Homo-oligomer: A and B are copies of this chain.
Amino acid sequence: MPISPSGPSLAEVGESKVIEEIMGAAPSQVNGDDAAVLVSAQPNSRVVVSTDMLVERRHFRLDWSTPREVGRKAILQNFADIEAMGARPISALLALSAPPETPLGLVRELAAGIEEEVSRFSAELVGGDLASGPGLVLAVTAVGSLGGDRRPLTLDAARPGQRVVAAGAIGDSAAGLALLERHGREVPEEFEAFRDAHTHPHLPPGRGMIARATGASAATDNSDGLVADLGTLARRSGVAIDLDPRAIAPGPAMRRVGEHLGIDPWCWVLGGGEDHTILATTSGDVPSGFRCIGTVQRGSGVTVGGQPPAYRNGWLSF
């Protein structure tokens, strides 16, 4: 199933043509020099930076995801880290390693996906680097702006008595990955939304800023797994987190995926990552677009309805 473009290779067209295609697909007035000079930030704002690497066959497969989806997800997972500080993503940089035989069209589609996602955040691809290498590797750096003098949302700032709130899907990406592992890209039509939750997850811009503006103190995003990521937050804050099983329970559609695959869907909810849903703790009201999924308590570790989680396996790089 050819979901990747064919046509002339990077080696055939040469470096300057490849750069021209990327800059054409994702234009910016500040790209193209030794480094990019960003527009002056607002007074009293701080710069926030984060980087993430995607390795082919480790983080994505080109028979499961289109290059455009890979480009979108590369931006999204980096921008989620900026949002999780309560900041606004403003720029991205792309360092790309690709084999010389890679079709130019594939890189063009990657860049188009990057442009789609940065545009959603009113941000820009402002620079990059291109290298020949044995496999496809994308390293994206995101730059954000943290306005005002409130503290950023940090991993160590959860306090007992706070609510734990979430602003998006939990477990959908992992359910989609399980479907891809079983079926490849041609999953049953009724389950396509889960596949898409894995290949192009959705992050509504501004949730991190909203959480910060309405009194949240700590945040992270669901990248490695709900229990793993909240476990890190709990450990760094010196608190316990108890999740409400009714608030995070798999919905009817996810349960049908579980029945179809013969897998307990709770393993996706508790152990699956890559939803990039913003998870925050707050003493105030539940911020707009969020829902309450648990509480912060004295103690340590993550529980579900007071019990140890049935699944806790998260993503590990090694």
Contacts and interface: CB of A to CB of B under 8 A. Distances in A.
B130 A317 contact: yes
A200 B316 CA distance: 33
Contact of A85 (B37, B81, B221): B37
B46 A38 contact: yes
Given A58-B132, A316-B14, A34 B221 contact: yes
A123 interface: no
Contact of A34 (B34, B37, B53, B155): B155
| Copies held by the complex | 2
A220 B53 contact: no
A49 B127 contact: yes
A167 to B, nearest CB: 14
Contacts of A47: 37-38, 41, 47, 143
Contact of A33 (B95, B132, B155): B155
Contacts of A36: 48-50
Interface string A38-75: 11110110111111111100110000000000000000
A154 interface: yes
Contacts of A100: 318
A141 B35 contact: no
Nearest to A54: B131
Contacts of A174: none
A43 B42 CA distance: 10
A18 interface: yes
B152 A58 contact: no
A142 B94 CA distance: 13
A144 interface: yes
A216 interface: no
A55 B318 contact: no
Interface in A218-265: 219-221
Q: Which 8 A-B pairs have the closest CB atoms?
A: A139-B139, A35-B50, A55-B133, A141-B141, A53-B95, A34-B84, A95-B139, A34-B81
13 contacts: A15-B317, A15-B318, A34-B80, A34-B84, A34-B221, A36-B50, A37-B85, A49-B126, A49-B127, A51-B94, A58-B133, A95-B139, A133-B137
Given A14-B318, A35-B82, A37-B152, 7 more contacts: A35-B81, A41-B47, A49-B91, A49-B127, A53-B131, A59-B131, A129-B139
